[in-house]
Amino acid sequence: MDFVIREVRPAEYDALGETTAQAYLQDGLLDFGESDSYLTELKDVAKRAAAAGVLVAVRGTTLLGGVTFVPGPGPMADLAAPAEAEIRMLAVGRAARGQGAGEALVRACVDRARATEGCTAVVLSTQRSMHTAHRIYERLGFVRTPERDWNPVPHLDDLTLLTYQLTL
C-alpha cells in the first residue's frame, strides 16, 4: 500500500469536499445533479469533522479519497443506534480508484469501531448502483439488513438506500 490513512487536516477540507462531491456527481448519485441539496453536505467537511471522525487516504501530497466515521448516534448519524458506529460519505476520486484506497478507508473505520468502547456493530447506507462499494463491504464481512433500508427523500420512490451491518 503506497498511501496512508489518517485524520483529515483542516487545510484539506476543501479538497476532500470537492473530491467527495465530484465522485457523487460523476457517478450520477445525486438525483438533482449540481442543484442537489446533498451536495452541500458532501462539501462541508468542516461540519463533518466537528461532529465525527473524517479519515483520508493520501499518497504523498495527493488526496485520494475520504470517509466519515460516526462513532454512534448523534448529529452525523443517519442510521446508527446505540452501540453502533456508522460509515458515511465514502468517496475516492476517479483517478485513484482500483488501488485499494476505498477498502483501506472502510477497514480503518472498522478498526476505529472495534476500539470504541461498547460498540458492537458498524452500519452504513448505500445506493443500489454503488456495486463496487457493495463488493468491498461484502468482502469485509458486512451483510445486508433490508429491514433497515430507508429513503432520505420520501417523495422519490427510487431513492431507497440499502443498508449493511458488520457485527463486531
pLDDT tens column, 93-121: 999 999 999 999 999 999 999 999 999 99
Q: Alpha-carbon distance 43 to 57, whole Å?
A: 17
pLDDT tens column, 112-156: 999 999 999 999 999 999 999 999 999 999 999 999 999 987 766
pLDDT tens column, 43-87: 999 999 999 999 999 999 999 999 999 999 999 999 999 999 999
Residue 156's pLDDT is what?
65
Smallest CA-to-CA distance from 53 within 95, 96, 115, 3 is with 115
Residue 50's pLDDT is what?
97
For the chain, the domains span 4-167
Q: Alpha-carbon distance 53 to 64, whole Å?
A: 17
CATH homologous superfamily, domain 4-167 = Gcn5-related N-acetyltransferase (GNAT) (3.40.630.30)
26 vs 31, higher pLDDT: 26
